[in-house]
Amino acid sequence: MADEERIVPMRLQKFLARAGAASRRGSENLMTAGRVTVNGKVVTELGSKVDPLVDEVAVDGVVVSLADGAVTLMLHKPAGLLTTMSDPFGRSTVAELVPTDRYPGLFPIGRLDQDTTGLLLFSTDGNLGNRLLHPRHHVLKRYVALVESMPTGEQLERLRAGIELDDGPTQPAEARLLSGEEARAARAVLQEPDPPEGSRQYRAAYQRKAARRHVVEIGLREGRKHQVKRMLEAIGHPVAALHRTAFGPLELGCLPRGAWRLLSAEEVATLHRVAGSE
């Protein structure tokens, strides 16, 4: 399975839109009008791709870069939304919750599953996004997971040591069982699925099972698809709800569900530091 989606190389018109040169359509017009160069050569072909880390893109001779006037924000993603800026099937996406009118070119840094909630970063700075997701930088992502029944110490130790998944062994992870106030606080933000329909006995059996759920905190420095769910499934504790509490040095804190906030200059600088930007 692939690592979390990286954003290079990207289509030139997308790069221009993210850099704030024009809207996506306007960027296409700039290209077809012969006003865009990549490494000094005019590029009019709409399918052309560029690598923002390597290529120099200019409009009318003026170099544009993804970091110019960049905006970075965090969203408290609710369950039920896809992590994409548009969906060909018209399903709800995180784009509905972030201010794309005000900040054209915003894109999500990494991905949370449709049913996963919590901290999702967005930026107009493609460079920053790429660096934060690059496996070389080992940026820590922290989650709380509601799991079926209580994992043993030995099972959590297997997660800490690294566990074999169908796409290879995982790196050592942080894993601990939460209890007391920490577990209560985590349960308050975890969005548990609604109990299924069915007979009274069936629903009662489901509720008994749900009452045995426990909260585990997991910290990962890699970002494979469905990784937390697959790791917990592998130790015999399927995930009923998953929530990301931290991305690198940033914590979601008490940002309400569905709300976003701009990062401060200091927070952005800290992100650049963990992402190894100069």
Pairwise CA distance, residues 184 & 208, whole Å: 18
Q: Closest distance between ligand URA and the C-beta of residue 81, in Å?
A: 12
Which is nearer to ligand URA, 77 or 272 (by Cβ)? 77
Bridging pattern class, strands 239-247 and 117-123: parallel
Q: How far is the CB of 111 from ligand URA (least distance, A)?
A: 7
Half-sphere exposure of 247 (CA within 13 A, CB side): 28
187/226 with CB nearer ligand URA = 226
**For ligand URA, the closer CB: 35 or 226:** 226
Pick between residue 50 and residue 242 the one whose CB is nearest to ligand URA: 242
Strands, E, within 127-256: which ranges? Answer: 141-147, 164-165, 168-169, 174-177, 214-220, 239-247, 250-251
Could you give the CA distance from residue 181 to residue 166 in angstroms, rounded to a whole number? 35
> How many CA atoms does the CB half-sphere of 185 hold within 13 Å?
9
Q: Which of 112, 108, 121, 133 is nearest to 191 (CA)?
A: 112
User: Which residues contribute to the site for ligand URA (CB under 6 A)?
Assistant: 112-113, 116, 226-229, 242
Of 113, 115, 125, 166, the catalytic one is 113
Q: How far is the CB of 270 from ligand URA (least distance, A)?
A: 22
* 115 is a catalytic site residue: no
Minimum distance, C-beta of residue 260 to ligand URA, in the bound complex (Å): 18
Chain-centroid distance of CA 257 in Å reads 16
Locate 55 and state its tokens: 């290529």
| Distance (Å, whole) CA 227 – CA 168 | 11
Tell the smallest beta-carbon distance from residue 132 to ligand URA (Å).
15
- Give the nearer residue to ligand URA in terms of CB position, either 71 or 81: 81
Q: What residues are annotated to the active site?
A: 113
